[in-house]
Structure 1
């Protein structure tokens, strides 16, 4: 084969080459694009990358290669890719510059969110591309460390108006790259495969053997090139040298091993050092080789055989060569290579990598090495590498000689692994911790963590008993942690809902009542626990004062300690909804989104966006809600976190689509499999709302009754509203009266304008004459003082319907017209059509308008336009929405065109008011 520069020419590949050439054309024209080349090892992805870079001589090209041994070192591959561009780091906005510098270990600082790092990389690439179009090539993307993969996928999804191209080559792309442009690279067609095989097998080949090779390699170019090497004519002619059918990569790797065995010992040692240090730093590799006594001439046989090339960087012919080199070495040989690398690394400039190699060079337990790993785990985590911290702590656990110390480190490693999204590793480490002598506090923490892992996997009640057991253990040694565990247990019971045993919530509340007193001064979470205990043990009215106090404490805490309040937002939001506290809902969600945007916390932002979207829905800002739902979904595709479907389901309900009930039923079936009974109530509530909007009151009544069968925190009150309306219009007085009695208990105790407004509305539906008229007016007065414009519009609707039946047509038209205009403007099409039918019945002509008068703007265009209307610059908008300034400019040009304006100053008048920017 010769040297690495002597690659075989591409055969066929017209389809793949056309796609890649099209990407280069887009980049040259100023349009950013990303593409994933997907295919098995050796199928030709690297050859296609070489072809593409060869065609990109007019562009700047930067490269990175994923390395399996680097997968636990945060940002390792990303650093390799962008290091040639870091001379521009000072041009970045301060928060982005600082995040990138901390992530790459260029300076000390608190852990940056990896998607603030992503925004910094996006800005850096866009800045570099201002001078010359930029092509980024990432090979072996299946081995990118998680942080690098998330950041690069984030950047790939935001390329639009930047002359930047990203090409990823991977055997099987990870979840981070799902949804990107995808090009599968398959094996060569038979004719081209035969041509390639003949290029390396120069002697006559038995047709049966030839056909077997072609069939088993399935057209894989590397397998066709490498499989026959090392086998003589006799072996090939009769097939004696061929192994039984097996995966191509394994056979190809075995071929590389045979070639390695023929190399001198010094050459194999040099190659092993290069394989163990995947950064490819040639100077480091030579220093380490020197410590092993390997001469510089040792590289010559490897280069002559086309396996390794060392210039400024060390490069293997193929990743499987690296794999073959490392796996073929004995454990002592590997430890020697890692030890030489540790010795060669400057501990001041790269302590993380030095500690990693030192740990892999150590066989017996060694407290000095374990201690260094533990200390550097904190440094790795401070740089944003939770997965790296988990890996460091795990190895530190293995090297800890003292059993008690080993248990403590295993517990810390398990916690880090859980936070890094590796529950299986966390459970393995927990098992190790529990085999060690733990203190009572450590044992309680271990029990709680095990239960939290169960709850994270299945949000139903399966985690309840373990959480209660952990809380009981912690009660004896740490009151604060015990109370937090009890809150987790209540949350588990809340999500289990009707799928839990009868009286479950009350039982859990009574158990949690035994929790020890919390620390002083009282923490918000302690007030929350006391309020939830009262809510489920004593009832809504008894708990209302305590839950209001807890909400106020969390609203204040959100300003002092946003991280802590964010972690509890899911539960506090449900409490605020349960209390009909529209101001608390608004404040908690708005602060959470603002805080997440400011610090770039994309791990939390999707959840915050979901809750903020729901607040928008209640306010009638459906377009703004849809924008946030879209943004949340886009981020979740990058992060791979669980989907937050609540806001999208509520929005679908209010928009009144006929398909909504079937959609909800299908979603319920999925969630029930993991024990989330609360989703059942949510599905029935959403269906009841849709049926009420469409005037199918009997169907709405049946669904609402099912939704109200279980007391679900933050949900049952809304379902009772639908039940009262459906029963009133279905002539079901007993069901209506019973539901009204339950609703009145809640709304009276809540006492907000929203609560009192929906109570007066519900009473009016069941009342006649002057009393009904007064109740409707009272409801409108209360709701006008609230943020619940959607419920205000529905109140105008039912009041107008009542007035029409009372033959007060002029008064009816006023309220029905108001309802129709509001609901049509919101995009609540089902309710708007109901109002339109009622208006027609009064004799009024109604023009049916298209909902959402936003000039045809997409949700993202609308969001950018609203931020621009507030006076934010393009860089400021980009920082909030994680876009490059150039992409913001591109979207604004489309906004101006659609709205028929020419400047930002005209946005205030031209842009319909759909609430704020969604922050």
Structure 2
């Protein structure tokens, strides 16, 4: 049986290394922590060997069998064929019988006879076919069986007897046991953690939502079993409420810790409870042998060291270690950390954590320290101290407790501590708090919802009820309702809610909320094609707004930078975004930083800085995963960057996952954008029908939402080109006409000129009007050169070269395509350069007899239909296969007749049989 493909995802290199070693004999010893996927690799190798007809022997010892002598050998010999046993000498047959019965050896001679049983059996089997012994969890093998297997392999059984063994790490008692079970030469390999993309794909294949799957990599350190256990424990509910650790995951991590010496575990407990654990912190806390202990822990895969900094792998190990330790041990560790602290604040924190008993003096000290931290921008520390103050607060300070909880919730939010923020906010709501406190707590929970804010209907209703007529409370609630409507693709409701937020903010004297609401109105107006968006944005920019770092991406300056990018004012957009990035780096919750990085990536893509685009995009993906944000937006940005400078396969992968994530979260905005990226990837990879299907879905969604600006999501030209390649020329022309009308209505015709001219050139070229296509594509190339957009300029030159080739002007085609290639190479636009090199190779032909039909002026659609005619398909069969109408097929064949100088289907068949009709993929 073949191994489940989802289980061995991301193990291609490891499986190849194992296969190469085993192909020439010897053995492979795998090691890695429990749950890392060793068994899955063993299963895959065993399944492949069985499919080749090899004799595969499996041993799967368990912990309880380690004390049972010869348990594994008894299992092993039972799997060998009877004819091998019959061929043994009498003494070994008797020993084999004893082994099967689990009887102990008697005397030295009997022991030697027994040791020779396995080598003789394996040698007999190997004379008929290759033998592969697969041993899982070698650390649980009983010592007697391990010795017998090792003895057999030391006798050099030949290249047809191989061993693949795996063991856990750490295993102090059985160190390198797996390697000693293998015949020479032995290859020892660590089973590495799964990469983020592979682990996410595995979890999604098991039914976990994208948002949960994307943040499980850090939580599990790439351990598939742990990720599946943790992901399965995340129940539907608030994103800020941490899920409990399932017992299966807890046991796995507990076993790893229990394998360490007690002194090492004590040192690690101090590290787990430290705010920022380092080797120096541990020494100051009295752990004099910290370096030795950390070296052992690193060898066991428990921690990683970066200089002096200590990081648990996975981070959950620190939590398990603290929770599994007794209260006295935790108190002693906090006492030691307090005594060794350099900063008074750190000492105060650990003194407070020694005990959970209420203490008014401690609570006031903590709150005062938290205020000082907040003033200097240490939001996360301030939040933790405020929450500690609330926890240590006696009933005599109940009012202060509620104040501290509200401040802790907001400070934790901006500090990126979502679990702390949620805990503090929920504590306020659960208490008998004033309405203002409750509304502010609910606002924190709404902000924690991220892209899932549209599902917070009850929270919004409660907040509005508690806000009453207070405009200072109503304005921020309505602002968030605006975003919720925006995410779900309801521009009418978004505009209405933003207007209410503006009115309330003006009455409350809150220019920041007013400016953000006006910015969102401007965004809706632009999406709907209303020219007044510019005036609305101007009003927002004139207000003295100072959005907090976590709301920066809703502010007017960010919106102005985004609009500058949409209008191809790239340098202006870049300068504005770089200034905003300085502020956004203080947004510890991550959303504003992610949004600025995303925009910088898109600007870099359009400016032809493909390396920068990829770096910004992947920083955004990593930041979003770390913060637990929706992955849909960052996967879209990564897809766009990969389309320009990475790979089409990676772009399609990001876009497909982005579509799934956006669908799961009801995010209509980024569903449309990811569909655009997916459509582009499919078209450029040659799957025109799939690309057109994705773009048609995007078109329908945009029509439903009222989107009208063709400069925001620039899908019209891509869809038109794909339609033309399929022979749907009328629909292609209508798509471009619609885009031009929208651009004219918005007054941004100059900005759209290059994109729509190039798309029109593609449609004309596919329709057989290559002369006009050359003129328009050349004009588009000049337009993009003036805008300093090298990728778009080179794309236009590539289209021009294709049109010249259809005119059979090969020198002109080579000139245009070579110019495009030079630009793509200078911009590090790898997938574009590869595509252009293939196009350049096709210009080497001429019009002599035997020239492929494409070089005689046939478009890709005409070529496909001609090939099907040659294969004997009727017009109706061609229409069915290519998803065209019969009328379209007939019209296309008429053009083919004219271009090839024939008058009937019979003449066409005769002409086609004398020349090659290659498979063609069309890029737009």
1:674 Cα deviation after fit: 3.3
| Cα distance change, pair 815–679 in 1 and its aligned pair in 2 (3 A) | same
CA distance in 1, matches of 2:794, 2:330: 72
CA distance in 2, matches of 1:829, 1:505: 38
Show the counterpart of 1:515: 501
| Cα distance change, pair 621–741 in 1 and its aligned pair in 2 (3 A) | same
Show the counterpart of 2:638: 648
Structure with larger RCO (C-alpha < 8 A, sep 6+): 1
Which digits, 9 at most, give the CA deviation of each residue in 1:823-880, with x for residues without a partner? 35545455445544554554479xxxxxxxxxxxxxxxxxxxxxxxxxxxxxxxxxxx
Which digits, 9 at most, give the CA deviation of each residue in 1:196-219, with x for residues without a partner? xxxxxxxxxxxxxxxxxxxxxxxx
1:80 Cα deviation after fit: 1.3
CA distance in 2, matches of 1:703, 1:753: 28
Show the counterpart of 1:390: 383
| Cα distance change, pair 702–642 in 1 and its aligned pair in 2 (3 A) | closer
Show the counterpart of 1:871: none
| Cα distance change, pair 816–360 in 1 and its aligned pair in 2 (3 A) | closer
Show the counterpart of 1:279: 337
| Cα distance change, pair 362–706 in 1 and its aligned pair in 2 (3 A) | closer
1:598 Cα deviation after fit: 11
8 Å contact kept, 1:468–1:489? no
| Cα distance change, pair 415–698 in 1 and its aligned pair in 2 (3 A) | same
Aligned partner of residue 718 in structure 1, secondary structure: coil
CA distance in 2, matches of 1:786, 1:797: 18
CA distance in 2, matches of 1:597, 1:432: 29
Of 527, 530, 537, 1:541 maps to 530
Show the counterpart of 2:759: 762
| Cα distance change, pair 354–447 in 1 and its aligned pair in 2 (3 A) | closer
Show the counterpart of 1:350: 344
8 Å contact kept, 1:81–1:136? no
8 Å contact kept, 2:821–2:836? yes
1:433 Cα deviation after fit: 1.7
Asked which structure has the greater CA Rg, the reply is 2
Does 1:722 find its partner at 2:718?
Answer: yes
Show the counterpart of 2:260: 44
8 Å contact kept, 2:551–2:592? no
Show the counterpart of 2:440: 445
| Cα distance change, pair 454–362 in 1 and its aligned pair in 2 (3 A) | closer
Show the counterpart of 2:680: 689
Show the counterpart of 1:374: 367
8 Å contact kept, 2:558–2:576? no
| Cα distance change, pair 418–602 in 1 and its aligned pair in 2 (3 A) | closer
Show the counterpart of 2:659: 668
- Bigger drift between 357-366 and 611-620 goes to 357-366
Show the counterpart of 1:159: none
CA distance in 2, matches of 1:176, 1:781: 59
CA distance in 2, matches of 1:35, 1:706: 35
| Cα distance change, pair 765–397 in 1 and its aligned pair in 2 (3 A) | same
Show the counterpart of 1:491: 483
Which digits, 9 at most, give the CA deviation of each residue in 1:760-790, with x for residues without a partner? 3334445668876654444333311224322
| Cα distance change, pair 729–42 in 1 and its aligned pair in 2 (3 A) | closer
1:640 Cα deviation after fit: 7.4
| Cα distance change, pair 752–411 in 1 and its aligned pair in 2 (3 A) | farther
Which digits, 9 at most, give the CA deviation of each residue in 1:111-164, with x for residues without a partner? xxxxxxxxxxxxxxxxxxxxxxx958659999xxxxxx9xx97x72xxxxxxx5
CA distance in 2, matches of 1:382, 1:737: 60
| Cα distance change, pair 606–16 in 1 and its aligned pair in 2 (3 A) | farther
1:167 Cα deviation after fit: 7.0
Of 470, 473, 477, 1:477 maps to 470
1:463 Cα deviation after fit: 3.6
CA distance in 1, matches of 2:389, 2:175: 48
Q: Structure 2 matches for 1:888-907, cutoff 5 A?
A: none
8 Å contact kept, 1:406–1:436? no
Which digits, 9 at most, give the CA deviation of each residue in 1:169-193, with x for residues without a partner? x6x6306999xxxxxxxxxxxxxxx
| Cα distance change, pair 141–837 in 1 and its aligned pair in 2 (3 A) | closer
Unaligned runs of 5+ in 2: 1-170, 181-188, 191-220, 224-252, 847-924
| Cα distance change, pair 778–272 in 1 and its aligned pair in 2 (3 A) | closer
Show the counterpart of 1:80: 281
Q: Structure 2 matches for 1:22-171, cutoff 5 A?
A: 40-45=256-261, 65-67=268-270, 70=273, 74-75=275-276, 80-81=281-282, 138=294, 156=306
| Cα distance change, pair 493–410 in 1 and its aligned pair in 2 (3 A) | same
Show the counterpart of 1:291: none
| Cα distance change, pair 656–809 in 1 and its aligned pair in 2 (3 A) | same
- Bigger drift between 711-720 and 507-516 goes to 711-720
CA distance in 2, matches of 1:579, 1:438: 49
Show the counterpart of 2:573: 585
CA distance in 2, matches of 1:49, 1:17: 28
8 Å contact kept, 1:708–1:716? no
Which digits, 9 at most, give the CA deviation of each residue in 1:38-62, with x for residues without a partner? 9544422556799xxxxxxxxxxxx
Unaligned runs of 5+ in 1: 1-8, 24-33, 51-63, 85-133, 143-148, 157-163, 179-246, 258-267, 285-345, 498-503, 846-919
Show the counterpart of 1:698: 689
RMSD (Å) for aligned C-alpha atoms: 5.5
8 Å contact kept, 1:764–1:773? yes
| Cα distance change, pair 668–738 in 1 and its aligned pair in 2 (3 A) | same
Which digits, 9 at most, give the CA deviation of each residue in 1:224-245, with x for residues without a partner? xxxxxxxxxxxxxxxxxxxxxx
CA distance in 2, matches of 1:17, 1:392: 51
| Cα distance change, pair 796–482 in 1 and its aligned pair in 2 (3 A) | farther
8 Å contact kept, 1:391–1:413? yes
Give the TM-score of the pair, scaled to structure 1. Answer: 0.52
CA distance in 2, matches of 1:173, 1:704: 41
CA distance in 2, matches of 1:67, 1:803: 72
Which digits, 9 at most, give the CA deviation of each residue in 1:682-737, with x for residues without a partner? 33212221233245433322221112222388986322231122223333234324
Show the counterpart of 2:315: 174
| Cα distance change, pair 573–281 in 1 and its aligned pair in 2 (3 A) | same
Which digits, 9 at most, give the CA deviation of each residue in 1:362-381, with x for residues without a partner? 85674x55433222112344
Show the counterpart of 1:532: 520
| Cα distance change, pair 477–415 in 1 and its aligned pair in 2 (3 A) | same
| Cα distance change, pair 578–769 in 1 and its aligned pair in 2 (3 A) | same
1:533 Cα deviation after fit: 2.4
| Cα distance change, pair 724–632 in 1 and its aligned pair in 2 (3 A) | same
Which digits, 9 at most, give the CA deviation of each residue in 1:266-297, with x for residues without a partner? xx9xx997455132739x9xxxxxxxxxxxxx
8 Å contact kept, 2:264–2:297? no
8 Å contact kept, 1:141–1:173? no
Give the TM-score of the pair, scaled to structure 2. Answer: 0.52
| Cα distance change, pair 11–796 in 1 and its aligned pair in 2 (3 A) | closer
Show the counterpart of 1:783: 784
1:796 Cα deviation after fit: 1.7
Does 1:799 find its partner at 2:800?
Answer: yes
8 Å contact kept, 1:528–1:547? no
Of 583, 595, 602, 1:614 maps to 602
1:395 Cα deviation after fit: 3.7
Show the counterpart of 2:731: 735
| Cα distance change, pair 426–781 in 1 and its aligned pair in 2 (3 A) | same
- Bigger drift between 595-604 and 485-494 goes to 595-604
1:418 Cα deviation after fit: 3.6
CA distance in 1, matches of 2:622, 2:318: 12
| Cα distance change, pair 472–734 in 1 and its aligned pair in 2 (3 A) | farther
1:408 Cα deviation after fit: 2.6
1:467 Cα deviation after fit: 5.0
Which digits, 9 at most, give the CA deviation of each residue in 1:485-512, with x for residues without a partner? 5444333344444xxxxxx232222222
8 Å contact kept, 2:577–2:600? yes
Aligned partner of residue 277 in structure 1, secondary structure: helix
